[in-house]
Amino acid sequence: MRIVSGQHRGRAILPPKNFSARPTTDFAKEALFNIIAVNFDVEQLAALDLFSGAGSITYELASRGCRSVDSVEVDFRHYAFIKKTVQALKLPQVRCFRADAFSFLASCKATYDIIFADPPYDMAGIERLPEVIFGRQLLAPDGWFILEHSKGKSFSGFAHFKERRSYGSVNFSIFRQAP
């Protein structure tokens, strides 16, 4: 896994071999961030990375100058790796939380411009994420919730659905908070 752009462009991040996380592919990540860059001033964003895994999206957001990034990961080994990498890369705008994503969302008081979620593709309850995020009003006006999922899932019937992007086996459903 590598950081595609920004201050740490080209930097390889090598999680331990025993990690069970499935990082977003560099191809899909680059395409997604091109879309984000066209629609947002990344340096002004407050972002939330749910199910952070190895931290790929967290590092990309921070490397591109994102104002603040909250990274949420339940697995202690993954959380510790993200925290260590954030310190090594000197990314002071990143806060790491070791928590279940749904528990974090239930108690979250912040609002974000971008919320990214990459849950395990076979996770039960993935369909509840848009409902929880919009129900708790966690997005700022015009904010986006981006959900990575398998091609077998469809979220086009959900409220706030904006569009779906596919990059090989990686699919992103994008939801938008009204202005």
> What domains, with CATH codes, occur in the chain?
26-35+44-176 (3.40.50.150)
Work out the pLDDT band at 74, boundaries 50, 70, 90.
very high
Q: Would you state the pLDDT for residue 1?
A: 86
β partners of residue 49: 71, 116
Is 76 a residue whose pLDDT tops 90?
yes
Q: What average pLDDT does range 17-28 have in this prediction?
A: 78
Q: How far apart are CA 133 and CA 86, in angstroms?
A: 26
Q: Would you state the pLDDT for residue 14?
A: 86
3-state secondary structure of 142: strand
